[in-house]
Structure 1
Amino acid sequence: MTASTELMAPRAGYLRRKRKERLVWLLRGLVMSLLAIVFLVPFLWMISSSLKQNLDIFELPLRWIPDPVEWRNYIQVWTGERSMLRYFGNSTIVVVATIVGELAVVSLAGYAFGRLRFKGQNALFLVFLATSMVPAQLLLVPRFMFFQQIGLYDTLWALILPGLSSVFATFLLRQHFASAPRELGEAARIDGAGEWRIFARIYLPLARPALAALAILIFDSTWNDFEGPLIMISSEEKYTVPLGLTRFMSDDGTVSMGPAMAGSVSSIIPVLIIFIVFQRHFMSSMARVGLR
């Protein structure tokens, strides 16, 4: 009897631990589900409002299902006088150019700081990191004056060029390249490979997870940027999506809420597509970068 009791004790402890883990998992799932609902409510309200008439949007009690459904809001947004197609085209140009340019610049800078050895390297890198302490808003006026003097004000280049450098992205890639196996580069040098070939053929392919994660972050920040276009762009034909949404405001300050909500829903579709399609790849990329 004593022996059987001793054999049953570990099993009873194991079952208690499993029940406790299951309870904790259920509580976590409940909390996360409630938080997800809280964060989804504004988006659901925006979608519902985009299909309503202006007078019905703020009616109380709130009616989630539009009646009648006002599809004309989306027709006005995409085929009206101020079509979102032009704004989407400008944003696409800025986003693609910024992603390609920034990844090229920061990968070279990260490799230089992480793999090469030169005099004053650490001091220069600390100075470079210190620039991140300067608020971006303080640079808006000098940047505006600079682009105005060189003739790039009110062009898409005024939005692309400032995004080609990033302290965070350079630091992330520097850490990645610094932790990469040094033996790979040394073996390539013995075989006669130059520094550029070592970078392009060996270390850059190893940085694909970090580059993928950075590309998604750059897309999100550039697509949703409002402050930069507001300062640098004055012609409506060069407006990006966030700035184009302000065109649904009339001269007296009133907002056509139905079209404005339809435009807002349309503007987040590319972000949602990128997130849904690349969610697994993004999470695995960030996990690998963190492990390094």
Structure 2
Amino acid sequence: MTAPPRKVIGQVVRWVLMIGFACVFLYPFAWLVAASLKPRGEVFDNKLIPDTVVWGNYVQVWQELPLINWVLNSIIIAGLAATLVTLSSSMIAFGFAYFRFPGRTVLFRLLLASMMLPGAVTLIPNYLIWKYLGFLGSNVPLWGATLFGSAFYIFLMRQFYLSLPRDLFEAARVDGCSYFGLFRRIAFPLALPSALIVFLFEFQASWQNFTGPLIYLNFGRIEDFTVPLGIAYAMTKYSPTAGGHGDYQFVMVASLVVTLPLLIIFAFAQKYFIQGIASTGLKG
């Protein structure tokens, strides 16, 4: 049976729009790939097909920049931050969802109100705290604060815990399960898709964080930089105004290489990412 012409036209228009938007979003990435393969004088000519392909850029960049150190530092910091904030936020969210105690609503509202504070407001107090503790120049401030959870992630996880039947936990209590056992054996395993979302969000945020490393690592060794701070250093290093020779092709190669970990993570976790987004909006 032939589809009505109006339906066919609608499908064609839909596909054209989807392909058009996909090309718009993919253009910056395609430009980055092309720029990473160009010689120094052709990096910014906006051609997606280089006139001269220089594969040696991908070899020479490891000699020009401590790129492997930056990637490893970012992986360690982002992994620690994502793991710690996932666990801490999950435990706090479970407490708000399961326990009934006086002032719970007020405390939760204060927690949500803290999300309204701009990062600039707490920047100096946080710096003074880490300075007093003696951690300036180390990567501890970049993941240490996640031990206390995140207001947004606590809210996200709490919504999922509220969707779980309370009778499930009461039955476990009758069988002698401790409160921590409720979280470890029942709540957290069931909330794993939601926890994975928190992990991915925090890993991405920590991986792309520039302000934190700029404040706490900028006066240390170059090898201790993270990816965003390292890219900014490379831009300055090769800038003609700073005595460089305009070798921005190495910056493009470095920028492309450091995007691969996030692409790999999201490629393998896409199923759980969508599942977690759908489930965290539920409320029992």
Q: What does 1:91-240 correspond to in 2, within 5 Å?
A: 91-164=74-147, 165-233=149-217, 234-235=219-220, 236-240=222-226
Aligned to 1:258, which of 231, 234, 249?
A: 249
C-alpha change, 1:20 and 1:186, in structure 2 (3 Å) is farther
Alignment deviations for residues 223-274 of structure 1 (CA, whole Å, 9 cap, x no partner): 1111111111121232101111123222734553100000000111111111
Report which of the two structures shows the higher radius of gyration computed on alpha carbons. 1
Asked if 1:269 corresponds to 2:255, the answer is: no
Alignment deviations for residues 95-130 of structure 1 (CA, whole Å, 9 cap, x no partner): 111111111100110001111111110001101110
Alpha-carbon distance in structure 2 between the residues aligned to 1:99 and 1:245: 22
Alpha-carbon distance in structure 2 between the residues aligned to 1:178 and 1:199: 13
2:159 and 2:282 in contact (8 A); partners too: no
5+ residue gaps, structure 1, are: 1-10
TM-score by length of 1: 0.88
Alignment deviations for residues 136-163 of structure 1 (CA, whole Å, 9 cap, x no partner): 1222222222211211111110111133
Alpha-carbon distance in structure 1 between the residues aligned to 2:8 and 2:269: 30
Aligned to 1:67, which of 38, 45, 51?
A: 51
Provide the identity percentage.
Answer: 33
RMSD: 2.0
Q: Secondary structure at the match of 1:258?
A: helix
2:88 and 2:146 in contact (8 A); partners too: no
Asked if 1:278 corresponds to 2:269, the answer is: yes
Alpha-carbon distance in structure 1 between the residues aligned to 2:134 and 2:224: 15
Alpha-carbon distance in structure 1 between the residues aligned to 2:224 and 2:183: 37
C-alpha change, 1:155 and 1:67, in structure 2 (3 Å) is same
1:140 and 1:231 in contact (8 A); partners too: no
Query: In the comparison of the two structures, how many residue pairs are matched?
Result: 275
Aligned to 1:5: none
Alpha-carbon distance in structure 2 between the residues aligned to 1:72 and 1:281: 38
5+ residue gaps, structure 2, are: none
Range that drifts further, 142-151 or 282-291? 282-291
2:197 and 2:277 in contact (8 A); partners too: yes
2:58 and 2:253 in contact (8 A); partners too: yes
Aligned to 1:7: none
